[in-house]
Structure 1
């Protein structure tokens, strides 16, 4: 058969490509006794889902703790004095006397009397624009804005500062009400603590579910490859060698599923952080520090170790009961 020059060149290219493929990507001498897919089963998908849920739950718990610490640091030592009840002139008189008394009080580091515009801005969301416009504060107005004084106590005066402030204001401002900024945070701390324990419980449940899924997948793979394992035993393979094959398959499957699950969880956390961006520096995404992200990154790694350990223990225990 006479071939043209182009056909001979094409055959030479194909032979060269085949030679390179055989050199750099040789085909295995024989197929493995137990394939990765037959051993792993649905483990990668289960690990991906469990990892994503675990990372999101853990991130929520860490972010809540960070938010609580940030709020506590911002409000520590803060005290608010409110003067409300008497007429506008009497309220202003008591507020002025209270500011003078507080500035001379030991342990008080900062005193600030809120101006009218700032007090109106605080009340406007509650009373509405119409009420604020119809009742401009003044001598003849029925709307009397309470006087608000913000002050901050030194660290060594926070325990006894509230009582000393009340005693100092008893005479110059008898209508004053003193409250620590940390008082309203106590119920919030209880709620945050409960949510954190809920996150811990969810993580524990997800870890248990992950181990159970690997256990069931390993038992199913053992039952499906029972004849192959018997042949391996006849050829001299030990239980530890068989278990090592299952352990490797479970570890690789968990690594693939964990990486995918962590990527999904990271995208979810960032998306939630953007949704809560209006909350300020304590929102979900900003509330996670670099060490929190390191702790979250360890979750899929721990998932790989858990899957491999569970598969090995399950296979060894099952093989010991086999005849």
Structure 2
């Protein structure tokens, strides 16, 4: 009898409106912020992974000779020497016009005339090895190039971007920490709302117990109510997060930067984002149930 009464009129026995109130909107905000932070962390992770995979076997050979004609001769001999090396998968001598275009934003237009003598620009050879670059390989390549190009300097491309990678990993850790904090904040908000509802409905809960109702049946009422709130708020929060993520994605896509483009979200990332409101609903329901059961044990 009591079970049927709670199942059919549980919402009338306990004032569910007091439990709801602003709760769906609080959950919506939490889910939206969690989704945005999670998307940022996933995008950073994708960018770092793609960039590391791309430059893992890359080295750059700089010909630092200031005299243009000698620099061109050394570059040609360096290309011929590198081509004969066993571990080289490919190479490219960067054209002078491309180098001028790279430094033009810093030195202004008309660089072609200035770089002839006043500002000599090193010749660059982009080399791709068959495997990851090791310090021993760098030293061996530089020794091999020394007779053909005395001014050659060999650097691993990964060394140049290591500070950038470290900064991006730090931001990724920050995003993960933010997701964890938002998860704790959501649980805390649900806990406070349930405790407030328990205090408001204390007399009704005691009557339910006198009629034979159990703690689990009462907890199920609060769990179901908070589940509805969390599901509705989570859907709204996910929609808000998608709008922000897509808007930011279009903004960054307009930059045309390779490192930014490699941070695009893949299908598994979108699936994980879609799980945020589902997991938030489950967390809210579990928090509500445990809070009610714990409070009722102390109440009676």
TM exceeding 0.5: yes
Whether 2:197 is the aligned partner of 1:197: answer no
**Structure 2 partner of 1:135:** 114
**Structure 1 partner of 2:197:** 221
Q: Deviations over 1:222-271 (max 9, x none)?
A: 11112222222222211111111000001110001111101101111111
Q: Could you tell me how far apart the structure 2 residues matched to 1:156 and 1:218 are?
A: 56
**Structure 1 partner of 2:144:** 168
The answer as to whether partners of 2:46 and 2:262 remain within 8 angstroms in 1 is no
Q: TM-score, normalised by structure 1?
A: 0.84
C-alpha RMSD over aligned residues: 2.1
Higher relative contact order (CA 8 A, sep 6+): 2
Question: What does 1:258-277 align with in structure 2 at a 5 Å threshold?
Answer: 258-277=234-253
Change (3 A) 1:40 1:94: same
Shift of 1:291: 0.7
Change (3 A) 1:221 1:272: same
Q: Could you tell me how far apart the structure 2 residues matched to 1:270 and 1:156 are?
A: 35
Within the candidate set 107, 115, 121, 1:145 is matched to 121
For the pair shown, which has the larger CA radius of gyration, 1 or 2?
1
Shift of 1:191: 1.2
Q: Could you tell me how far apart the structure 2 residues matched to 1:59 and 1:30 are?
A: 39
The answer as to whether partners of 2:222 and 2:289 remain within 8 angstroms in 1 is yes
Q: TM-score, normalised by structure 2?
A: 0.90
Change (3 A) 1:124 1:168: same
**Structure 2 partner of 1:293:** 270
Whether 2:25 is the aligned partner of 1:49: answer no
Q: Normalized per residue, which structure has more helix? A: 2
The answer as to whether partners of 2:58 and 2:157 remain within 8 angstroms in 1 is yes
Q: How many residues align?
A: 292
Q: Secondary structure at the match of 1:183?
A: helix
Whether 2:218 is the aligned partner of 1:239: answer no
Within the candidate set 252, 268, 282, 1:305 is matched to 282
Q: Could you tell me how far apart the structure 1 residues matched to 2:162 and 2:147 are?
A: 30
Q: Could you tell me how far apart the structure 1 residues matched to 2:68 and 2:139 are?
A: 27
